[in-house]
Amino acid sequence: MATMTRTPPPVLGEFEQIVMLALVRLGPDAYGATVTAEIETRGGRGVSVSAVHTTLERLEQKGLVKSRVGDPTPQRGGKRKRHFEVAALGMKALQASYRSIRNMADGLEDLLGEPA
Amino acid sequence: MTLLRQGFGGQAPRPPFLASWLIARAVSDRRREELLGDLEELLQIQYLEQGRRKARRWYWRQAANAVVDAIRERRRQPKPPAGDSLMQTIIQDLRYAFRSLKANPGFATVAVLMLALGIGANSTIFSWVNSVLLDPMPGSARTKELVQFTYLYKGDVMPSFSYPDYQDISRAAKTVTGITGWDDLSVGVIVDRDAERAWAEIVTTNFFDVTGAEVPLGRGFSAQEEVAGAPPTVVLSHAYWQRRFNRDPNVIGRQVKINSHPFTIVGVSAEGFHGAVSGLSYDLFLPMGTQPTVMPGGSRLDVRGSRWLSLVGRLAPGATREQARAELDATIAIMRTTWAGQKRYIDFQAAVFPLDNSPDGGISVLRPVLLILMAVGGVVLLITCANLAGLLLARASVRQREIAIRLSMGAGRWRIVQQLLIEGTVLAVLGSVAALVALQWTSGLLIGFAPPSELPIHLDVAVDARVLWFTAAVAIGTVLLFALAPAAQAAPADVATTLRDVGAAGRVFSRHRLRRTLVAAQVALSISLLVGAGLCIRSLSAAAKMTPGFQAEGVVVGWLDLFSAGYTSDEGRAFYARALDRVRALPGVEAVTLSRRIPLGFMGGSFSDVTIEGHTPSDDDPQGVGLNSVGPDYATTMKIPIVKGRDLSTSDVTKQPLVALITETMARIYWKDGDAVGGRFMFGGPRPDQAPQWITVVGVVKDIKQRSLNERPQPVAMIPILQFYASSAVLQVRTTAGVDTMAGPMQRAMREIDPQVPFYNVSRLADHTKAATFQQKLAGDLLVVFGVLALALAGIGSYGVLSYLVGMRRREIGIRLAVGATQGDVFRLIAGSGARLIGAGVIAGLLLSLGVGFGLESLLIGITPMDPITYAGVIGALTVVAAAACLLPARRAASVDPVTTLREE
């Protein structure tokens, strides 16, 4: 008979991984602007704010991240912000992605270069 | 981010309006606020790291990304099932419209370009009207309540009041909550030993309260500063604070020198407030009490005869302009009674203007031109619509079979109309987007309207929500105009006949009545524009021929300001004498002189009452004579012909008898037979406490125009500046060398005499006297551009209709040729129908032009609104275009081969 199988966490796209990693790094201070800035400074690539928003929205629909509405500040022209954090399912998905990347890269460090 | 929280010196940049508007439209409600907030926050960082320009560019890139993302997102959404709800049919029609436009890229491009032009012209003109007329005093509060007071003297507006007038009037006023007065002046400012020129407004101390302009840093003026002798203070404009003091917040309390006197800075006005005169931007605001210190000629604060202040009041809640006028009239009546002994205020009445119709400042120059432009923009849009309607009609008849098939298969008539309207809307939206993109650039062209002047001109045009709404409204109106008529025609009443008969000549004619009317309308409208353009051009050339009485060509001018350098009148006279000697000795100089002001410049003139020896005053005497202080050799340098007597000379100085040059008109009014040389007059009337100061006329010169080329010959007296000292003057040099060659040596010569004396704005006199024909030039240039455009559109339109008609009538022409008509007959037939079409347009156009001519009458110089040469020229130009538009299709018709044509169907 078929045993009860756990549903595997959804597979994350590359940009989804980057966005979720940024969420983990920023902790409670994670919202659109800070996530974008974090990816730009740490990831060393320009991203559009709109792309970050679209991705966060998609992740939320899949239940991988949670959000709550935050306070407006004057720098934002008095507009509210939306804080995001990684949900439990999202953390599992992130761990799975990281595991598979690490496994695939195992033994190739000479070619890929040591992570600094 | 910490940087943000600490705050920074500069003001946070606002996101580009259009970009955030685009984002707000593209993004779903759910995410809009967060996304805009994030972008605004990151914009601050971009601004700090990259500067304003790069930050704005970054924001625009983000906006483009957001729009693209939103479109992708929408595609990903599951499509709703097909059905017949209004929304779904609209979406279907939109898709269909885009497909059919893609299939006809030529038509689509032409249509969008025409719409972009028509809508763009109107948006641009509106953005100017918006910033000049709808916001006449940027930075003031509730501007609609502000009104300008003026005197009316025998029907003429006299915008200036004396300070005692101001006190009487504001004390009596109950319909206003406050009245403020001001005048402007150019001053010398020294900050930390760096001297420069600046433009100041000297204002009554309630200036900031009445206008509602804020003073965010420091304070405005207090009532004590209204009184002469109070410690001198100054409020800086925001722009000057930024430019000269680098936004230093510690500027309050600092000392600067203004016209060699120490002043304390007490405040900085709000950003966006440039002073009380539209179109000008002032650097400094000085309180009324400093008037005797900063202005030459002593205190005017107790001189009732010296009218120099502009007055603006704020209407009390519920009060109307008419009540304010009646109240001012009553006050003037009381003043007249009080001063009856001195015969003051005789024939004076009150007038009160809304600020957007102010009789002076930038508005008075720009308002007539802007109103004409609005009308022109409307006409161009109408022509565009007529042309597009023609194009769409042509397409509609091509598609008639398609439409008939759809009708016969059960499509409702409204459904067909809706589809055509949506096609029109798509075109109009594309055109508007192109127009809005162009607007970012074209709105700034207003500065090209700035007249040549030494004034601090400031014409900043903001593209705000009002401009966007206007553009949207124009686009909607356009769709209704150009798409509705063809849509109505395209749904034929009789499906069966249409299906059978398409292409036959039978129905062609009724259908083409609309197209013919459209072409005739285009011809008529473009004629009226061309007549307007022609009248302005003719005015300009008439003005060029009209001699102002002097020769501006070949004269180089430069401004001297001895007052701000602290000269006394004796020192000043010595300076002038030396300056004249030095410049006269420069190579290439034919003659040199000085004058208080240049004729036909933008700065007005001064007037004075005179008493003439041996002349009995009568009611026909003019209200005073024009006055100018001038240097030796004035008539010679300006090449003003001397009728009798002599020019002023270097020996007409103090301690010598007082002398004057007068114009022929003045001589004729006051002296029998105009024989004025040797006659004597004085300014004002005799005073009991002093001996009369008689001035002897030594020369009579031909009349010179003072303010405009249109004016009647004026009585003017020119008195020697070396006798009647003025502390600022224009050095005027007649030279064979150009301004580039002369500027250096002239500046060196002045510096060698005294480096402290400001000598500035060295330029050609002709550039300044052009101010006199500035409006005509502007209106003429713009009307020519639009008129030629309209003529081209009308030409293309007539050509299109005629060649289309020829196409439709090929069969008929074939038959005619087959039964014996000659090629000449056919040619005459087609050319004749074209000529009738255009002829009808010409007649309508000429009638319309009469209206245009009288509308422009105030701008015309030396010609009448019915100037025959203009009309002849326009009709000539039109004949050429019309002939081209008729002859080509007619030739093609004549070359139809009857055999092939008849076999075709």
DSSP letter for each residue of B430-476: HHHHHHHHHHHHHGGGGGGGPPS-SS-B-------HHHHHHHHHHHH
Question: Which of B5, B12, B42 lies closest to A49 in CB terms?
Answer: B42
DSSP class of B284: E
Q: Which residues from chain A sit within 8 angstroms of residue B76, using beta carbons? A: none
Chain B residue closest in CA terms to A50: B66
Query: Does B40 sit within 8 Å of A77, measured CB to CB?
Result: yes
| Closest to B277 (Cα-Cα) out of B197, B181, B194 | B181
Q: Which residues from chain A sit within 8 angstroms of residue B70, using beta carbons? A: 50
Chain B residue closest in CA terms to A72: B37
Q: Two tokens at B609?
A: 């009452």
Helix (H, G, I), strand (E, B), or coil: what is residue B128?
helix
Distance from CA of B34 to the nearest CA of A (A): 5
> Are the C-beta atoms of residues A100 and A12 closer than 8 Å to each other?
no
> Are the C-beta atoms of residues B750 and B757 closer than 8 Å to each other?
yes
Query: Cα B118 vs. chain centroid, distance in angstroms?
Result: 20
pLDDT at res. B503:
45
> Are the C-beta atoms of residues B598 and B730 closer than 8 Å to each other?
yes
pLDDT at res. B286:
95
Query: Does B34 sit within 8 Å of A82, measured CB to CB?
Result: yes
Query: Does B36 sit within 8 Å of A48, measured CB to CB?
Result: no
Element (H, E) at B202: strand B194-203
How would DSSP label each residue in B560-620?
EESTTTT--HHHHHHHHHHHHHHHHTSTTEEEEEEESS-TTSSS--EEE-EEETT----TT
Judged on CB neighbours under 10 Å (0-12, 13-18, 19+), B483 is buried
pLDDT per position as a tens digit, A81-102: 899 999 999 999 999 999 988 8
Element (H, E) at B661: strand B659-663
Distance from CA of B322 to the nearest CA of A (A): 43
| Closest to B373 (Cα-Cα) out of B190, B52, B725, B132 | B132
Q: Which residues from chain B sit within 8 angstroms of residue A80, using beta carbons? A: 33-34, 37
Listed in sequence order, the residues at least 6 apart from B826 whose beta carbon sits closer than 8 Å to its beta carbon are B813, B816, B817, B890, B893, B894, B896
How would DSSP label each residue in B476-499?
HHHHHHHHHHHHHHHS-S-HHHHH
Q: Two tokens at B394?
A: 């042509």
Q: Which residues from chain A sit within 8 angstroms of residue B39, using beta carbons? A: 33, 49
Q: Two tokens at B804?
A: 């289309």
Q: Can you state the angle between helices B868-894 and B823-855, rounded to 10 degrees?
A: 150
pLDDT at res. B488:
65
Question: Which of B38, B65, B73 lies closest to A32 in CB terms?
Answer: B38
Q: Which of B36, B38, B59 to mutate to test binding with chain A, by most A CBs within 10 Å of its CB?
A: B38
Q: Which of B34, B45, B57, B58 to mutate to test binding with chain A, by most A CBs within 10 Å of its CB?
A: B34
Q: Which residue in the block uniquely carries the two structure tokens 């010598």? A: B656
Query: Does A32 sit within 8 Å of B35, measured CB to CB?
Result: yes
Q: What is the number of other CB atoms lying within 10 angstroms of the CB of residue A7?
A: 6
pLDDT at res. A85:
92
pLDDT at res. B419:
79
Does B48 reach chain A within 8 Å, measured CB to CB? no
pLDDT at res. B168:
94
B204/B344 Cα distance (integer angstroms): 24
Query: Does B65 sit within 8 Å of A32, measured CB to CB?
Result: no
Residues in A whose CB is inside 8 Å of some CB of B read: 31-34, 36-37, 48-51, 53-54, 57, 72-73, 75-77, 79-82
CB contacts < 8 A, A to B, total: 75
Q: Which residues from chain A sit within 8 angstroms of residue B30, using beta carbons? A: 57
Q: Which residues from chain A sit within 8 angstroms of residue B37, using beta carbons? A: 32-33, 72, 76-77, 79-81
List for chain A the helix, strand, coil content (%; round to 5).
55, 10, 35
Q: Which residues from chain B sit within 8 angstroms of residue A53, using beta carbons? A: 31, 34-35, 38
Does B40 reach chain A within 8 Å, measured CB to CB? yes
Query: Does A76 sit within 8 Å of B41, measured CB to CB?
Result: yes
pLDDT at res. A2:
45
Query: Does B35 sit within 8 Å of A53, measured CB to CB?
Result: yes
Question: Which of B34, B36, B73 lies closest to A54 in CB terms?
Answer: B73
B695/B629 Cα distance (integer angstroms): 13
| Closest to B794 (Cα-Cα) out of B528, B591, B520 | B520
A92/B714 Cα distance (integer angstroms): 94
pTM: 0.62
Chain A residue closest in CA terms to B42: A33
Q: Two tokens at B586?
A: 């420069």
Chain B residue closest in CA terms to A68: B34
Does B44 reach chain A within 8 Å, measured CB to CB? yes
Distance from CA of A89 to the nearest CA of B (A): 23
Q: Can you state the angle between helices B569-584 and B739-753, rounded to 10 degrees?
A: 140
Helix (H, G, I), strand (E, B), or coil: what is residue B673?
helix
Chain B residue closest in CA terms to A82: B34
Query: Does B62 sit within 8 Å of A50, measured CB to CB?
Result: yes
B637/B631 Cα distance (integer angstroms): 10
Q: Which residue in the block uniquely carries the two structure tokens 């915008």? A: B159
Mean pLDDT by runs of 10 across the 905 residues of chain B is 40 79 82 88 87 88 88 71 67 84 80 85 87 84 90 82 93 93 87 81 95 93 92 94 91 90 94 86 94 81 84 93 94 91 84 86 76 83 82 71 73 75 87 88 74 69 83 85 70 54 45 74 83 82 76 89 82 93 92 88 66 80 81 93 92 88 91 85 76 88 81 85 87 89 90 86 82 73 76 74 72 82 84 82 87 79 82 84 80 78 65
Alpha helices in B133-212 (DSSP H): 163-172, 207-211
Question: Which of B38, B62, B69 lies closest to A54 in CB terms?
Answer: B69
pLDDT at res. B579:
94
